[in-house]
Amino acid sequence: MNRHITSKLIDGKAAAARVLAEATLEVRKMKAIGIEPALAVVLVGHDPASQVYVRNKVLRAEECGIRSLEHRLPADTREAELLALIAELNADASVHGILVQLPLPAHIDEHRVLQAVNPLKDVDGFHAENVGGLSQGREVLTPCTPAGCLRLLQDSCGDISGKHAVVIGRSNIVGKPMAALLLKAHCSVTVVHSKSANLRELCRQADILVAAVGRPRLVDADWLKPGAVVIDVGINRVDEDGRSRLVGDVDFDSALPQVSAITPVPGGVGPMTIAYLMKNTLAAARLQQPAPSTLALRTEATCPSIS
């Protein structure tokens, strides 16, 4: 890879390492005043991808010094049993963050489960209280992937205020909270999706393009304004030339000459999601402290800090 290409790459692994170092330092400060941050991760069933994600979350937490509790439940767990576990974790003052890995088995009502998590322990930012707070521009626990994308943008572009950001995708996990965060960062935001008319023309107007649609290599050079910054959230497995590989929603090779910066897949957004889960766990721990300790730790904001 030549120097020209390297200079355009947004290195998510390096950025995540910086965020994790910040989190590790903050854990030490918390422990010094008697707070031992703890994250509970709940996995229902045996989805192979979810098992890998959960293992990585638990490992990363331990590396930062965050205590992790793993709850693996069988696929036929009744909704009432899962709700009872969440109630138990809500009531346990030594647990600061609760993450229920999605997707849940079809017989469980995802909304009811996410609403059962105490909003102050909701490290995914999926509770309606936090979703609403984010759309009001309040400092709340914010979904990890969009928070990580925003950090990548700020680290690589500096001030993004006034830029036109286009988000492809309207999921609750990425597209919608991403749009809210970009708006909070003073971007002009357009959200497009699979039913949008003139999808390509709208994308071509973007200074910042965030692709989170789950369609392998949907976006190529033709969709991009020269000099655009591209954040590719897609992680799509494709079988090509007899081998299986991961590709993004953006055709990286086609896009590269057209952009000023772009995240690769893998090694772009992925590592930032887990890093921000650690940040959110610490933010949750702070939110749960009585006022004096909270004030003592307020010097470093880890809830997304754009005013």
Give the residue numbers marked as catalytic: 57, 101, 124
Q: Which stretch binds ligand GUN (CB under 6 A): 26-34, 98-106, 260-268, 281-289?
A: 98-106
Taking CB under 6 A as the criterion, the residue among 58, 69, 73, 102 binding ligand GUN is 102
173 counts as binding ligand GUN under rule CB under 6 A: yes
259 counts as binding ligand GUN under rule CB under 6 A: no
99 counts as binding ligand GUN under rule CB under 6 A: yes
Residue type, 303: C
The long-range contacts involving 298-301, CB below 8 angstroms and separated by at least 24 positions, are 300/22, 300/26, 301/139
Q: Hey, what are 92's tokens?
A: 């346990």
Residue nearest to ligand GUN (CB): 102
Q: How far is the CB of 4 from ligand GUN (least distance, A)?
A: 34
- What is the C-alpha separation between 167 and 178, in angstroms, rounded? 7
**Residue 52 and residue 22 in contact, taking contact as beta carbons nearer than 8 Å:** no
249 counts as binding ligand GUN under rule CB under 6 A: no
- What is the C-alpha separation between 30 and 43, in angstroms, rounded? 27
Residue with tokens 């979350």: 57
Half-sphere exposure of 293 (CA within 13 A, CB side): 17
Q: How far is the CB of 303 from ligand GUN (least distance, A)?
A: 17
In the complex with ligand GUN, the residue whose CB is nearer, 49 or 84, is 49
Binding-site size, ligand GUN (CB under 6 A): 8
145 counts as binding ligand GUN under rule CB under 6 A: yes
R_g over Cα of the chain: 19
122 counts as binding ligand GUN under rule CB under 6 A: no
Of 272, 288, 261, 233, the closest CA to residue 91 belongs to 288
210 counts as binding ligand GUN under rule CB under 6 A: no
Interacting residues with ligand GUN (CB under 6 A): 99-102, 124, 144-145, 173
